[in-house]
Amino acid sequence: MLGTVAGDHPFAGIATKLERADENIINLHNEIVRFFKGSKYPVIPKPNEQGWQEAVDYHRDLQIPKRFSVLAGEIIHHLRSSLDHIVWHFSSAEARRDHDNALEFPIYRNLPSKKELPGYQRKVQGISNSRVLTLIKDLQPYNRVPDVSDDPLLIVHDMDRFDKHRELMIVTTCANLTFPPNTRPEIVANVMAYKKGKTLSIAEFAAAQRAIKNDAKVTPQTAFSKIGNRDDQFVVPSLMALLNAVSDVAELFAREL
């Protein structure tokens, strides 16, 4: 994350926003933990134990507090506005005065067409530092990852836009697996890979199934129903990954000061 900076540092406001986002993620995590600890089934029985189906049905129907969505939306807004403050800093005083509502960090899923290019340029008007302009261009989602939908800046942009203009971001309940510390790392890795759709060998699958049946502790957790192209992503780790991505971007621009 962007390191602690003095109050007169040009990025002091950005650092404060990112610190606040970090605090909010911790607070949200603590609220989620308290919520499930107070539920009827803070730990879900194993499939062969009495009460398993009742626990599954209970958590499937459990209403997640809207507050979690509101808090997640506030975190995302801090991240999006931190990016916009980068553009604001490097823009000219005239552009800030005359076109303050137009300035923002551009985030484009696709290479801007000739028709879209003026809109892109309005967002970065007043920036004279060619290295900054090149960095903004290089960070565009269409330049960054094979699957553009999973680009963290695009996820922040889309989630912030969705939260502001349509409805609260939806979170849902899903199961989280934890294993004892002495569980072999390769078995945990295979369990996680299998959950993501990887095909395991017969021996790997059998070992993973035994670990889930005999050793795994299953607890309820909140997840975004969709983030990028991925379904059911745990809320707190997802928000931390986005915070780290935006912090890394802020660090890149801080080197241009």
Measuring CA to CA, which residue among 112, 72, 92, 84 is closest to residue 13? Answer: 84
User: Domain count of the chain?
Assistant: 1
Helix 12-37 vs helix 66-90: angle between axes, to the nearest 10 degrees?
170
* Within-domain flag for 116: yes
Instruction: Give mean pLDDT, residues 194-205.
Output: 83
Task: Give the residue with greater pLDDT, 243 vs 178.
Answer: 243
What digits encode the pLDDT tens for the residues 134-162?
A: 999 999 999 976 789 999 999 999 999 87
* Within-domain flag for 58: no
* Within-domain flag for 217: no
* Within-domain flag for 43: no
CB of 194 closer than 8 Å to CB of 200: yes
* Within-domain flag for 44: no
* Within-domain flag for 215: no
* Within-domain flag for 249: yes
What digits encode the pLDDT tens for the residues 41-75?
A: 999 988 778 888 999 899 989 999 989 999 999 99
pLDDT of residue 192: 81
Query: Beta partners for 231?
Result: 226
Amino acid at 157: H
* Within-domain flag for 211: no
Domain containing residue 155? 12-38+66-169+236-254
pLDDT of residue 169: 67
| Angle at alpha carbon of residue 16, lines to 105 and 255, rounded to 5° | 55
Give burial (CB, 10 Å; 0-12/13-18/19+) of 185: exposed
Query: Beta partners for 172?
Result: 223
| Angle at alpha carbon of residue 27, lines to 23 and 31, rounded to 5° | 170
Measuring CA to CA, which residue among 24, 68, 49 is closest to residue 169? Answer: 68
